[in-house]
C-alpha cells in the first residue's frame, strides 16, 4: 500500500541541476530501507521555482525541499519517509529581507510567498502528475473535456464557448482563439489542419516547454477539441529540437493516447477521427511566426509570406489551418469543463484567464509563475519573485523578449494584460519577464536584443534584413561614444520605418526594445552621447579605470592581477601610507575589471 508520494521535478531546469540522478539514488535508498511498497517516487514536470532546483515534494504532508543534494537523500529517507520528521535544514525558506534568522520556514509549497498569489490553470498539472503516465492525467479529469465535446456539443457550440470565454492567444499577439476557429470552420475544404506552435524562441521564455514537459496530454486533448471544432483530422506540433525532454514526453504521450484510442479513428465511438504528429524545428526564431512555421512543416525553408490569405483560409499545404500556442491549448480543456463563467471571472475586462511568466534576470526566485491577468507587475516581482537580490534597486522589467519593451519603475503598478502592455509601449509576447536593476545599462539591453534580431532575421524582406543591421550599427556607435544627438533622431525614424514596412512580426516588432528604452530612458542615451559615459558602468568603451591615489596603500595586489600589465607605481605616497600609490595606463588597460576585484581598499573606480 502506497502511503506517501515523493515528487521529483523532471523539467529541464531541475534535470540540468541533477534531478535524474537524484531520482535513481532516492529509489535505491528507499529500497535499502525496505520502504518500496510504501513510498512511491514520481517524476513530474516543472514546479516553477527553477532557481532552487532540484526540487522535491513529499506528499501527503506536502513538505517542500529545495536544492536537494545526493548526500541529503539518506537523511531524508531515514528521518522523513521512515520516521515522519521533515529534515528542517533542507525545507524551503522564503528569503525574507534582511536577517537570515527572520526567514520563514515553509513545509508546504502552497504556503510560500512564491505560490500564494499564483493561480494555476495552464500549469495545473505541472509538478503534480507524472507526465509519462496517461492514467495520472485521466485521474485529473483528463480527456473528460474531449468526451464532453464529442458527445454533447456541436462544433458550433465549441466555437461559441471559445468566443464567449474571451480566451486570447498566449503566444504574443493576443488574437481571440474563438475567432480563429470560427474563420477556419467557415472555410470550405475537405482537408483541414490543426497545428500547435511550440517553437518557443524568445530568450528567457520557457513556459511552453514546461507545459509540454509537465502536462503533454492537455495539449493533445485541446488539439483534438480544436480539430473537432473546425473539422480537421490531422494535427502537427511544431517543436524545437532544442527541447529534447519535451519532445520525448510528447512522443510518449501521443503513443499512449493512440493506444487508448484517444487519438486515431472513431474516437469514443463518435466517428470523429484525429491523429497527431510531431515536427521538429531547427531553432530559427522566425519559425515561431505562423506562416514561416507552416512553410517549415511543409518541408521548405522557414520564411514568412504576406497575409492575407490568413492561415484560417489558406494555411498548411494551402488548406485551412488553426495554429495556436501551447499555453493557449493548455487552457482549453479547463474552459470546457469548468465553463465560460468560471474562466471569465478571472482576469481583466479584455484579457480573461491567467498568464504564465518566465521570471528571469535580477530576481530572487527565477522560475515560472502563473497569475491572473491584471496582476500588477509589482506583485509579480516583489511578492512572488521575492524582489531583487543584493539590495539593489529595480530599474526596469523587459517583457516580450526581442519583440517587447521595457517597463520602468513608474509603471510598476499597471495591471498587466494585453492592452495595458501595448499602451505603455511593450507587449505580452510569450511571457518572458526579465528584471533589471541599476547595474543594467538600457542602451546595452537594447543592443543585446537587436543583436538577436539581426542574427535571426530571415532576410526575405529588406526593411528587416538591412534596417535592423543599420539600427544595431547606430546603437554600437552610441555605446562606443561616437554618436551625436542627431543620430538619436535618425535612429527613431528608422525604427518606425522598420516597424511599418517589415513583412512579418519579427521585423515589425524588432525595434520595440529600442523605442521603449528611448521613451523611458532617453537620459541614458543622452549620457552616452553627450557626456560619453555609461551611467550603469556597463559599456566598456566608455569606461575609464582610475586609481584614487589617496586611498591606495601601494600593496601591489592589482598589479599582479592585471593581465595587461597596465598598472604602474607612481612617485606619490599618500599621507599615512607607507608605499607609493599606483596608477593605470589607460592605453594598455583592457577594462577587464580584475583590479577592482582584488583591491581591498576600494581604491579603483570605473567611470
Partner 1 sequence: MKTLAELEAIRERMKGKVAVREANDNTIRIVVGMATCGIAAGARPVLNAIAEEVSKQGLSETVTVTQTGCIGLCQYEPIVEVYQQGKEKVTYVKMDSEKAKKVIEDHIKGGKVVNDYTIGAYNPNL
> Interacting stretch for partner 1, rule CB under 8 A, among 3-11, 23-31, 163-171, 535-543?
3-11
Quote the least distance from Cβ 47 to partner 1, whole Å. 12
Taking CA atoms, 241 is separated from 30, 201, 308, in Å, by: 35, 11, 29
Q: Tell me the sheet residues that pair with 396.
A: 408, 436
Quick one: 34 or 575, whose CB is closer to partner 1?
A: 34
How many angstroms separate the CA atoms of 332 and 122, rounded?
9
User: Which residue in this structure is represented by grid cell 512580426?
Assistant: 505
Q: Does 260 bind partner 1 (CB under 8 A)?
A: yes
Applying CB under 8 A, the span of 265-273, 338-346, 466-474, 515-523 interacting with partner 1 comes to: 265-273
Which segment (138-146, 415-423, 465-473, 559-567) binds partner 1 by CB under 8 A? 138-146
The 107-126 site mask, x for binding partner 1 (CB under 8 A), equals -x-x----------------
Contact pattern from residue 268 through residue 287 relative to partner 1, giving x for each residue in contact according to CB under 8 A and a dash for the rest: xx------------------
Q: HSE of 532 in the Cβ direction (CA atoms, 13 Å)?
A: 7
Cβ contact 320:313 at 8 Å: yes
Distance CA 228, CA 12 (A): 32
Query: Whole-angstrom Cα distance, residue 558 to residue 292?
Result: 53
Query: Residue 348's closest CA among 419, 424, 410, 407?
Result: 419
DSSP secondary structure string for all residues of 126-187: TTTS-TT-HHHHHHTTTTHHHHHHHHH--HHHHHHHHHHHT-B-TTSS--BHHHHHHHHHHS
C-alpha–C-alpha distance, residues 431 and 199, integer Å:
14
Of residues 517-546, those binding partner 1 (CB under 8 A): none
Residue 221 near partner 1 by CB under 8 A: no
From 87, 91, 103, 140, residue interacting with partner 1 (rule: CB under 8 A): 140
141 binds partner 1 (CB under 8 A): yes
**Interhelix angle 485-501/512-520, nearest 10 degrees:** 140
Nearer to partner 1, 40 or 469 (CB): 40
- Please tell me whether residue 2 binds partner 1 under the rule CB under 8 A: yes
Q: Is 59 in the site for partner 1 (CB under 8 A)?
A: yes
Q: What are phi and psi of 437, to 5 degrees?
A: -110, -170
Report yes or no: 76 and 65 within 8 Å, Cβ to Cβ: yes
Q: How far is the CB of 258 from partner 1 (least distance, A)?
A: 11
Choices 69-77, 127-135, 170-178, 287-295; region in contact with partner 1 by CB under 8 A? 127-135
Measure Cα distances from 378 to 117, 408, 418 in Å: 12, 11, 17
d(Cα 399, Cα 318) in Å, to the nearest integer?
A: 34
Query: CB within 8 A of 152, min separation 6: which ones?
Result: none
Q: Tell me the per-residue interface mask from 160 to 179 with partner 1, x by CB under 8 A, - otherwise.
A: --------------------
Binding mask 367-406 for partner 1 (x = CB under 8 A): ----------------------------------------
Q: Which of residues 141 and 438 has its CB atom nearest to partner 1 in the complex?
A: 141
Which of 32, 96, 102, 139 is the binder for partner 1 (CB under 8 A)?
A: 139
Which of residues 271 and 391 has its CB atom nearest to partner 1 in the complex? 271
Minimum separation from the CB atom of position 316 to partner 1 (A): 29
Among the listed residues 96, 97, 104, 151, the single contact to partner 1 using CB under 8 A = 151
User: What's the DSSP call for residue 119?
Assistant: -
Which residue among 33, 36, 62, 378 contacts partner 1 (CB under 8 A)?
62
Least Å distance between CB 333 and partner 1?
13
Q: Return the C-alpha torsion angle 446, 449, 450, 453, nearest 10.
A: -160
The verdict on 75 binding partner 1 (CB under 8 A) reads no
Q: Is 497 in the site for partner 1 (CB under 8 A)?
A: no
Which cell numbers hold the place of 466?
538591412
143 makes contact with partner 1 (CB under 8 A): yes
The backbone torsions φ and ψ at residue 351, rounded to the nearest 5 degrees and listed phi first, read -125, 110
Q: Which stretch binds partner 1 (CB under 8 A): 25-33, 166-174, 258-266, 356-364?
A: 258-266
Closest approach, Cβ 464 to partner 1, in A, equals: 48
Q: Which member of 75, 266, 489, 585 binds partner 1 (CB under 8 A)?
A: 266
Residue 268 or 572: the one with the smaller Cβ distance to partner 1 is 268
* Shortest Å, Cβ 340 to partner 1: 22
Q: How many residues sit in the footprint of partner 1 (CB under 8 A)?
A: 36
Interaxial angle between packed helices 177-186 and 155-165, expressed in degrees from 0 to 180 and rounded to the nearest 10: 150
494 touches partner 1 (CB under 8 A)? no
Choice from 82, 179, 538, 564 touching partner 1 (CB under 8 A): 82
- 192-219 burial, b at 16+ Cβ within 10 Å, e below that, comes to bbbbbbbbbbbebbbbbbbbbbbbbbbb
Q: Which position among 16, 24, 61, 241 is part of the footprint of partner 1 (CB under 8 A)? A: 61
What residues make contact with partner 1 under the rule CB under 8 A? 1-5, 7, 38, 59-62, 82-85, 108, 110, 128-129, 135-136, 138-144, 147, 151, 260-262, 266, 268-269
Amino acid at each position: 500500500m502506497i502511503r506517501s508520494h515523493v515528487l521529483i521535478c523532471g523539467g529541464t531546469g531541475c534535470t540540468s541541476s541533477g534531478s535524474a540522478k537524484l531520482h535513481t539514488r532516492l529509489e535505491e535508498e528507499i529500497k535499502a530501507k525496505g520502504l518500496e511498497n510504501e513510498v512511491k517516487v514520481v517524476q513530474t514536470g516543472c514546479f516553477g521555482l527553477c532557481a532552487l532546483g532540484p526540487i522535491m515534494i513529499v506528499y501527503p504532508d506536502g513538505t517542500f525541499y529545495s536544492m536537494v543534494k545526493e548526500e541529503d537523500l539518506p537523511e531524508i529517507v531515514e528521518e522523513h519517509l521512515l520516521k515522519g520528521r521533515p529534515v528542517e535544514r533542507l525545507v524551503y525558506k522564503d528569503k525574507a529581507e534582511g536577517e537570515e534568522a527572520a526567514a520563514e520556514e515553509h513545509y508546504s509549497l502552497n504556503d510560500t510567498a512564491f505560490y500564494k498569489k499564483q493561480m494555476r490553470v495552464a500549469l495545473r498539472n505541472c509538478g503534480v502528475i507524472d507526465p509519462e503516465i496517461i492514467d495520472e492525467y485521466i485521474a485529473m479529469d483528463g480527456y473528460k473535456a474531449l468526451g464532453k465535446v464529442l458527445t454533447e456539443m456541436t462544433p458550433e457550440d465549441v466555437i461559441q464557448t471559445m468566443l464567449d470565454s474571451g480566451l486570447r492567444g498566449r503566444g504574443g499577439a493576443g488574437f481571440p482563439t474563438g475567432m480563429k476557429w470560427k474563420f477556419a470552420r467557415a472555410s470550405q475544404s475537405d482537408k483541414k489542419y490543426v497545428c500547435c506552435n511550440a517553437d518557443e524562441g524568445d530568450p528567457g521564455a520557457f513556459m511552453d516547454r514546461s507545459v509540454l514537459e509537465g502536462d503533454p496530454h492537455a495539449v493533445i486533448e485541446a488539439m483534438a477539441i480544436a480539430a473537432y471544432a473546425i473539422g480537421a483530422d490531422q494535427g502537427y506540433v511544431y517543436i524545437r529540437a532544442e527541447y529534447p525532454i519535451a519532445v520525448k514526453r510528447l512522443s510518449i504521450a501521443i503513443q499512449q493516447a493512440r493506444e487508448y484510442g484517444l487519438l486515431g479513428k472513431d474516437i469514443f465511438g463518435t466517428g470523429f477521427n484525429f491523429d497527431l504528429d510531431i515536427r521538429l524545428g531547427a531553432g530559427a526564431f522566425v519559425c515561431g511566426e505562423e506562416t514561416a512555421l507552416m512553410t517549415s512543416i511543409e518541408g521548405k525553408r522557414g520564411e514568412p509570406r504576406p497575409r492575407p490569405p490568413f492561415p484560417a483560409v489558406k494555411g498548411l499545404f494551402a488548406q485551412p489551418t488553426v495554429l495556436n500556442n501551447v499555453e493557449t491549448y493548455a487552457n482549453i480543456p479547463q474552459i470546457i469543463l469548468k465553463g465560460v463563467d468560471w474562466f471569465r471571472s478571472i482576469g481583466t475586462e479584455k484579457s480573461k484567464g491567467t498568464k504564465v511568466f518566465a521570471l528571469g534576470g535580477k530576481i530572487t526566485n527565477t522560475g515560472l509563475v502563473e497569475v491572473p491577468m491584471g496582476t500588477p507587475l509589482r506583485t509579480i516581482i516583489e511578492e512572488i519573485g521575492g524582489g531583487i537580490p543584493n539590495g539593489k534597486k529595480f530599474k526596469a522589467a523587459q517583457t516580450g523578449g526581442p519583440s517587447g519593451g521595457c517597463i520602468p519603475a513608474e509603471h510598476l503598478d499597471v495591471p498587466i494584460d494585453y492592452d495595458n502592455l501595448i499602451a505603455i509601449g511593450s507587449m505580452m509576447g510569450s511571457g518572458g519577464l526579465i528584471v533589471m536593476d541599476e547595474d543594467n545599462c538600457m542602451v546595452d539591453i537594447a543592443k543585446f536584443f537587436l543583436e538577436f534580431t539581426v542574427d535571426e532575421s530571415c532576410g526575405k524582406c529588406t526593411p528587416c534584413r538591412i534596417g535592423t543591421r543599420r539600427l544595431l550599427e547606430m546603437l554600437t556607435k552610441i555605446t562606443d561614444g561616437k554618436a551625436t544627438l542627431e543620430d538619436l533622431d535618425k535612429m527613431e525614424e528608422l525604427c518606425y520605418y522598420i516597424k511599418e514596412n517589415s513583412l512579418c512580426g519579427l521585423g515589425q516588432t524588432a525595434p520595440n526594445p529600442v523605442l521603449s528604452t528611448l521613451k523611458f530612458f532617453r537620459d541614458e542615451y543622452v549620457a552616452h552621447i553627450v557626456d560619453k559615459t555609461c551611467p550603469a558602468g556597463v559599456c566598456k568603451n566608455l569606461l575609464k579605470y582610475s586609481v584614487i591615489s589617496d586611498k591606495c596603500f601601494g600593496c601591489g595586489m592589482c598589479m599582479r592581477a592585471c593581465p595587461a600589465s597596465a598598472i604602474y607605481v607612481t612617485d606619490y605616497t599618500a599621507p599615512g601610507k607607507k608605499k607609493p600609490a599606483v596608477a593605470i595606463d589607460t592605453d594598455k588597460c583592457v577594462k577587464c575589471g580584475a583590479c577592482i576585484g582584488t583591491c581591498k581598499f576600494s581604491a579603483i573606480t570605473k567611470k
